[in-house]
Amino acid sequence: MRVDGVHHRTVRLDDDGALHLIDQPRLPHRFGFVTTRTVEETAQAISTMIVRGAGAIGATGAAGVAQGALAAPDAGFVDAVDAAADRLRRTRPTAQNLFAGIDHVLAAARAEADRPALARQAAVAAAQAWADADADACHAIGLHGAPLVQDGQTWATHCNAGWLAFVDWGSALAPIYAAHRAGRQVRVHVDETRPRGQGARLTAFELGQEGVPHHVASDSSLAHWMQQGAIDAMIVGADRIAANGDVANKIGTRMAALAAREHGVPFYVAAPAATIDPGCPDGAAIPIEARDGEEVAWTWGWTPDGRFDRVRTVPEGTAIRNAAFDVTPAAWIAGILTEHGLVDASPAGMAAVLAR
Nearest to 24 by CA among 190, 165, 182: 165
Tell me how far apart the alpha carbons of residues 304 and 307 are, in angstroms, rounded to a whole number.
7
Query: Which position among 134, 168, 232, 239 bears the catalytic label?
Result: 239
Which residues 6+ apart lie within 8 Å of 136 measured at CB?
A: 339
Q: How many CB atoms lie within 10 A of CB 100?
A: 20
Between helix 96-111 and helix 116-145 the angle, nearest 10°, is 140
Is 239 labeled as catalytic in the residue annotation?
Answer: yes
Q: How many CB atoms lie within 10 A of CB 319?
A: 6
Q: Do 238 and 171 form a contact (C-beta atoms < 8 A)? A: yes
Nearest to 89 by CA among 107, 67, 64: 64
DSSP 243-280: TTS-EEEETTHHHHHHHHHHHT--EEEE--GGGEETT-
Q: Do 1 and 209 form a contact (C-beta atoms < 8 A)? A: yes
Tell me how far apart the alpha carbons of residues 313 and 178 are, in angstroms, rounded to a whole number.
39
The values of phi and psi at residue 216, to 5°, are: -100, 140
Instruction: Indicate the pairing of strand 233-236 with strand 298-302.
Output: unpaired
> How far is C-alpha 222 from the chain's CA centre?
21
Nearest to 157 by CA among 66, 74, 291, 250: 250
What amino acid positions are annotated as catalytic residues? Answer: 239
